[in-house]
A = this chain, B = another copy of it.
Amino acid sequence: MSAELDVYQRQRFGQRLGFGHRAGLLVVDFVNSFNDPALFGGGNIGPAIERSVALLEACRQMKLPIAFTRLVFEGDGSDHNLFVRKVPKLAVLTEDAPESFVVGELAPVPGEFVLRKRLPSAFFGTELGAHFTAKGVDTLVIIGCTTSGCVRASVLDAMSSGFRPIVVTDCVGDRALAPHEANLFDLGQKYADLMERDAVIAALAAMARERVA
């Protein structure tokens, strides 16, 4: 942290939220087009996907509620919004285009919730908050891409929706590292706890033992 950023510490930003009583996993936009530098990928997204495999597997074994998001638009343009106007290549992400599918390494299994969305946030204009609320979730472990885009938007809205967001720093990625780092800073100071994958898995395992006991 540079000297300029000391102001955050003096103003007492960045307190810890911690885990609540029941966690869910949110996997944001880990789809083929974001793993392809010719479309929306690049940077450290590939490594973030690889590191996420073990976390997803751990959450499945602990039977946590899991949700995936995909960006999906209609082929006839009938649902094109301001986001598509700002980023026109999003229009390729139709329901049946492989570019819009969750990457093979992290493919959802039947019964896992796959949310189609048309905006950065996984919560805005969707039922995701209601989905997790109905399952009694109060804490959301969040992975995906991009850190400066749909991850940040979803983390903020998770907090705004009443879920404690845990951002897994080595399981989120971005097409360029400067925005990745800048957004992790903002998230950690204002909206979420930042943790590495292995520490998250250990904390979830501890929560699971406590529920059983």
B-contacting residues of A (Cβ < 8 Å)? 2, 4-5, 7-8, 11-15, 17, 20-22, 37, 39-40, 42-43, 74, 76-79, 81-83, 85-89, 110-114, 118-121, 124-127, 129-136, 138, 148-149, 153, 156-157, 159-164, 175-179, 182-183, 185-186, 189-192
Contacts and interface: CB of A to CB of B under 8 A. Distances in A.
Contacts of A179: 5, 182, 185-186
B15 A86 contact: yes
A159 B127 contact: no
Contact of A76 (B40, B110, B119): B110
How many monomers of this chain does the complex have? Answer: 4
Contact of A176 (B7, B14, B112, B160): B7
Contact of A111 (B20, B77, B89, B121): B77
Given A133-B138, A149-B186, 17 more contacts: A4-B177, A7-B37, A7-B43, A12-B87, A15-B85, A81-B127, A82-B134, A83-B159, A119-B127, A125-B125, A125-B126, A125-B160, A129-B161, A130-B162, A132-B133, A132-B162, A134-B138
A121 to B, nearest CB: 7
Nearest to A95: B95
A82 B112 contact: no
23 contacts: A7-B37, A7-B42, A13-B86, A13-B87, A14-B86, A15-B87, A15-B88, A17-B86, A81-B162, A86-B159, A87-B190, A119-B127, A124-B157, A124-B160, A125-B126, A125-B127, A129-B130, A134-B138, A136-B136, A136-B138, A149-B186, A149-B190, A179-B182
Contact of A120 (B89, B149, B160): B160
Contacts of A42: 7
Contacts of A135: 138, 162
Contact of A7 (B11, B78, B89, B175): B175
